Amino acid sequence: MVLAYVVNNASPSGNGTVSVIDVKTHNVIATVSVGVGSRAISFTPDGKLAYIVNSGNFQNNATLSVIDVKTHQVIASVPINDDSRAVSITPDGKLAYVIEVTTVAVIDVKTHNVIATVAIENPVNVVSFTPDGKLAYVTSRQEIPSFTFASVIDVKTHSVIATVQISNNANDDPRAVSFTPDGKLAYVAHTEPMGNGTVSVIDVKTHSVIATIPVGRDTRGVSITPDGKLAYVINTEPMGNGTVSVIDVKTHSVIATIPVGRDSIAMSFTPDGKLAYVINNVIDNPGSVSVIDVKTHNVIAMVPVGRAPSGMSFTPDGKLAYVVNFENPPSVIGTVSVIDVKTHSVIAVVPVGIRANVISITPN
């Protein structure tokens, strides 16, 4: 059974919840209570466990809730540092990396215990694993001396083996890291203080920046097509509609700029890599999804969804896209818009919890 897990940041009791949706029927089949400040989710590659980050508050400590996907029960609650913000699972499913404020907690998925803490010493933004799972790239920034960098962690030893300087400005905001499928290159998207976006290309073998590519303004993320030939970079463009910068991975050059909707914040490729779905997060009006044909770099459809859409996930067969809508005001129950990828139309709207903000679908 393929399931969609929706993380809801608040409930009447103050704890977060996870709404479990059967993607065959588009019905919520379970609601799992987790911790306070729930904000991120990651499944193990076999789909058996879900890890939920609960960042806590002044009265409640941060925890990592481990959910058994078969029973929809929390089977472990792992203490982590307050204000933890994200979790990623290694490709082999053995370890979970949790981004804390200035450290990365390494958790053994089998025992649900923290087995190592990797000190980065500066605020951590994102973590991403190479496809072979041997290395983790963690982005951060430092005030004195001033620069933005990526720390390279050896996953076997849990130690930092290299530091790659991305820029000489500590106010740069590194927001995403994506690897080519062969694991040879890392694309790091970051935004400068004046809003100009840049993508730094890192040679994973030498841990050095080999290209710097200017893109749009207020860059939010970067994704590589499944064939590894193109990188799509999403830019919010504060003064107007968002854009997607298309980069040729072979030449490290922008070959197209695609206009999308307002407040574009996130993007995903269909599993076959033929389409890109871009979320346009309009807070005061219904949001939308721009559908891009990757072959032509043209928007072929604009799909209306709910208010303040914040995340999206495709079913493994690529037939459906699930878009989570925070809705506005925040006290309103969140929803999930289910899009038929073939027709680019919403076929169901599923009510979930309050402050719904993250969605992920179980892997095959």
How far, CA to CA in Å, does 158 sit from each of 91, 133, 216, 235?
16, 12, 35, 33
CB–CB of 160/153 below 8 Å?
A: yes
Pairwise CA distance, residues 352 & 336, whole Å: 7
144 CB neighbour count, 10 Å cutoff = 6
Rounded CA-CA distance 130/24 in Å is 32
Instruction: Decide if pLDDT at 146 tops 80.
Output: no
> Mind listing the pLDDT tens digit for each residue in 111-130?
999 999 999 978 888 999 99
Question: pLDDT band for position 94 (50/70/90)?
Answer: very high
**Does the reported pTM lie above 0.85?**
yes
Q: For 10-42, how does the pLDDT look when each residue is reduced to its tens digit (9 = 90+)?
A: 755 578 999 999 999 999 999 999 999 899 999
Asked whether the predicted pLDDT for residue 221 surpasses 90, the reply is yes
In 3-state terms, what secondary structure has residue 182?
coil
Residues 6+ apart with CB under 8 A from 304: 286, 287, 288, 346
* CB atoms inside a 10 Å sphere around CB 79: 11
243-272 b/e with 16+ CB inside 10 Å = b?
bbbbbebeebebebebebbbbbbbbbbbbe
Return the minimum-mean-pLDDT range out of 152-156, 169-173, 221-225, 271-275.
Answer: 169-173
- How distant, in Å, are the alpha carbons of 117, 227, 269 from that of 308? 35, 31, 20
Amino acid identity of residue 71, one-letter, is: T
In angstroms, the Cα distances linking 166 to 139, 142, 202 are 9, 11, 9
Say whether pLDDT at 167 is over 90.
Answer: no
269 vs 143, more confident:
269
Give the whole-angstrom CA distance, residue 160 versus residue 137.
Answer: 10
CA 333 to CA 356: how far, in whole Å?
8
Tell me the CA distances in angstroms from 89 to 46, 105, 356, one per residue in order.
11, 12, 22
Task: Give yes or no for a contact between 232 and 220, defined as CB atoms under 8 angstroms apart.
Answer: no
What local confidence, expressed as pLDDT, does residue 232 receive? 98
Q: Please check whether residue 37 is in contact with residue 73, taking contact to mean a CB–CB distance below 8 angstroms.
A: no
**Confidence class for position 237, pLDDT limits 50, 70, 90:** confident
